């Protein structure tokens, strides 16, 4: 009898000292696991997750950790034990120094890790390839490998705002991309800024979402980030306000791409312009149709609306390159032609050095007109085909998602007998206590009867 009481007391003491796994989040969804404001080990987190899964009679598809402090220091958080039904992971303000190990979660669609302490994005082996939304905003990312995001062919949204990115060339390998946010990149040393925050974005596919939005706002750009690769139509390009606003337009050349390109909407702050000055390079991009619509921002934009209107600047051929290639080192070129139709003397100025080449004016003008016509044709063709291909890709993607959901619905299996008993015990603690109390009283009564029988025999 005394031994039974000792075991019962020890059991209660051990249960009381164990960290509780009760959810602390406000999310009452039966499809989510959420834990916040606590200190725990990775093993305890794992046990809490499995306990939570046993409590819920549904598939857990959302995994959320807010304001968590891991009791042990570690380079990475392993989460491959999560169910393959997980579709979203959201981690906010957690003391981990690198991306979590989730490469086995093939159905994961959304990864959001905010207010983190990641300094580099070099190795993507710990991430699954089917991610559609990657949000790593509000962190310390300073270096990104050029091909880090090439792995994600279904990527729709990439949010890297409010980090410390410097002189990066990104590569995107998705024809579903809809958002690229690289705004508000900070610097540890504002006095030694010699390079642009974002150099270029290379697109491996020739289509994207029809409403593709690229955001470079609130940085310290000296030049416009270039759009490279196969994509030739950008719906919205936001350069916004750059802190080095006096250098962005006041330069010898502006190169937006390595070939013909059309930007439907170009958003820029009015502070980059001077009301009494025409920036010929930028005006020619507007006149030639490279930029279709200029959107000015800022309280004083009304006085600078003249910079958003086409004026058919006559000498745009001197400032806009319509060729399919761009020289490695941009050099301003100024061409002047004599009125003689048969021959002309073309003068090209390179760093104040003159080189005189004689050629036929008619041949040169024909070649330039041919190049301009080709550029216009390619841009028009892309405008027609891009929405169609993007819509088709989106429909195929939606069909695949519906098929996966159907397979998941049809593959539901009833809980086993063991899981049923565990769920019953956890959901009905009063019944469990009553049962063990009854067993205890029964054993006590049995012990009393046995003792009474022995005393009866002795007497």
Give the DSSP letter string of 227-251. EEES--EEEEEEEE-BTTHHHHSSS
Q: Is 121 contained in some domain? A: no
- Three-state secondary structure call for residue 155: coil
Could you tell me the sign of the dihedral formed by the alpha carbons of 291, 295, 297, 299, in that order? positive
- pLDDT band per the 50, 70, 90 thresholds, residue 253: confident
The predicted structure's pLDDT at residue 88: 97
Ordered strands of the 168-172 beta sheet: 168-172, 198-203, 226-229
* pLDDT one-digit tens code per residue, 121-137: 999 999 999 999 999 99
- C-alpha span between 209 and 403 (Å, rounded): 22
Q: How far, in Å, CA of 16 to CA of 421, rounded? A: 23
What pLDDT, on a 0 to 100 scale, did the predictor assign at position 21?
65
- Which sign, positive or negative, has the C-alpha torsion 153, 159, 161, 163? negative
Contact 156, 174 (CB under 8 A): yes
* 3 belongs to a structural domain: no
Angle formed by the axes of helices 429-458 and 2-17, to 10°?
160
Assigned domain for 209 exists: yes
Own/partner pairs, 94-97, CB within 8 angstroms, 24+ separation? 94/65, 94/67, 94/68, 94/69, 94/70, 95/68, 95/69, 95/70, 96/70
Indicate whether 203 pLDDT > 70: yes
Proportion of the chain above pLDDT 70, given as a percent: 66
**Average pLDDT for 399-411:** 51
The DSSP code for 253 is -
- Answer yes or no: is pLDDT of 229 > 80: yes
pLDDT at 409 over 90: no
Q: Is the pLDDT of residue 268 over 90?
A: yes
* pLDDT tens digits for range 12-46: 444 344 445 655 565 556 789 998 888 888 888 99
β-strand partners of 40: 70
Give 308 or 192, the one with higher predicted confidence: 308
Q: Indicate the residue among 232, 266, 297 that finishes a domain.
A: 297
Domain boundary, last residue among 277, 297, 317: 297
pLDDT at 422 over 60: yes
Mean pLDDT comparison of 282-291, 387-396, 415-424, highest-scoring range: 282-291
Q: What is the predicted pLDDT for the residue at 115?
A: 95
- CA distances to 57, 114, 204 from 84, rounded to whole Å, are 16, 23, 29
When mean pLDDT is compared over 125-129, 368-372, 412-416, 446-450, the highest value belongs to 125-129
Position 361 in a domain: no
Give a yes or no: residue 181 inside a domain: yes
Residues 287 and 139 in one domain: yes
Q: Which residues contact 281 (CB under 8 A, 6 or more apart)?
A: 249, 251, 253, 254, 319, 320
Across 322-338, average pLDDT? 37
Q: Domains in the chain: how many in total?
A: 2
Which of 254, 276, 297 is a domain's end point? 297
Q: Tokens standing for 158?
A: 């990439």
Per-residue pLDDT band for 3 (boundaries 50, 70, 90) equals low
Position 378 pLDDT exceeds 80: no
With a pLDDT cut of 90, the percent of the chain lying above it is 41
- The whole-angstrom separation of Cα 307 and Cα 312 is 12
Q: What is the pLDDT of residues 143-198, one digit of tens each?
A: 999 999 999 999 999 999 999 998 789 999 999 999 999 999 987 655 444 467 78
CA–CA gap between residue 177 and residue 412 (Å, rounded) = 33
User: What's the domain range around 453?
Assistant: 431-458
Highest mean pLDDT among 289-298, 330-339, 379-388: 289-298
Question: How many Å apart are CA 214 and CA 228, to the nearest integer?
Answer: 13
Please give the mean pLDDT across all residues of the chain. Answer: 76
Alpha-carbon distance of 459 to 457, in angstroms, equals 5
Residue 395 domain flag: no
């Amino acid at each position: 009898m005394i031994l039974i009481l000792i075991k019962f007391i020890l059991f209660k003491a051990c249960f009381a000292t164990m960290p509780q796994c009760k959810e602390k989040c406000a999310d009452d969804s039966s499809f989510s696991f959420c834990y916040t404001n606590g200190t725990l080990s990775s093993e305890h987190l794992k046990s809490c997750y499995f306990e939570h899964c046993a409590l819920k009679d549904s598939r857990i598809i959302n995994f959320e950790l807010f304001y968590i402090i891991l009791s042990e220091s570690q380079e990475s958080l392993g989460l491959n034990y999560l169910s393959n039904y997980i579709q979203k992971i959201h981690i906010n303000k957690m003391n981990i120094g690198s991306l979590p190990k989730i490469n086995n979660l093939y159905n994961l669609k959304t990864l959001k890790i905010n207010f983190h302490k990641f300094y580099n994005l070099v190795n993507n082996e710990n991430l699954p390839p089917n991610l559609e939304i990657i949000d790593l905003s509000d962190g310390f990312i300073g270096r990104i490998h050029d091909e880090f995001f090439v792995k994600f062919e279904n990527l729709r949204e990439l949010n890297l705002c409010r980090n410390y990115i410097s002189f990066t060339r990104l590569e995107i390998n998705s024809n579903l991309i809809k958002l690229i946010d690289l705004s508000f990149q900070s610097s540890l040393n504002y006095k030694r800024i010699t390079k642009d925050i974002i150099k270029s974005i290379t697109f491996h596919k020739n289509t994207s979402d029809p409403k593709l939005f690229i955001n470079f706002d609130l940085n310290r750009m000296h030049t416009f980030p270039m759009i490279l690769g196969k994509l030739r139509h950008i719906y919205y390009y936001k350069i916004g306000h750059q802190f080095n606003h006096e250098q962005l337009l006041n330069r010898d050349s502006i190169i937006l791409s390595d070939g013909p390109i059309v930007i439907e909407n170009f958003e820029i702050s009015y502070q980059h312009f001077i009301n009494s000055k025409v920036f010929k390079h930028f005006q020619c991009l507007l006149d030639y149709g490279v930029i279709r619509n200029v959107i000015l921002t800022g309280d004083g934009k009304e006085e600078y609306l003249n910079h958003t209107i086409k004026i058919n600047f006559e000498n745009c051929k001197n400032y806009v390159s319509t060729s399919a290639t761009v020289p490695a080192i941009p050099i301003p070129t100024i061409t002047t032609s004599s009125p003689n139709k048969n021959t002309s003397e073309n003068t090209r100025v390179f760093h104040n050095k003159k080189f005189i080449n004689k050629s036929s004016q008619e041949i040169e003008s024909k070649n330039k007109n041919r190049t301009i016509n080709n550029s216009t044709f390619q841009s028009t063709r892309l405008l027609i085909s891009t929405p169609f291909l993007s819509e088709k890709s989106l429909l195929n993607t939606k069909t695949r998602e519906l098929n996966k959901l159907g397979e998941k619905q049809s593959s539901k299996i009833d809980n086993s007998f063991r899981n049923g008993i565990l769920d019953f015990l956890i959901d009905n603690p009063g019944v469990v206590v009553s049962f063990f109390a009854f067993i205890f009283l029964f054993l006590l009564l049995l012990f009393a009867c046995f003792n009474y029988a022995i005393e009866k025999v002795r007497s």
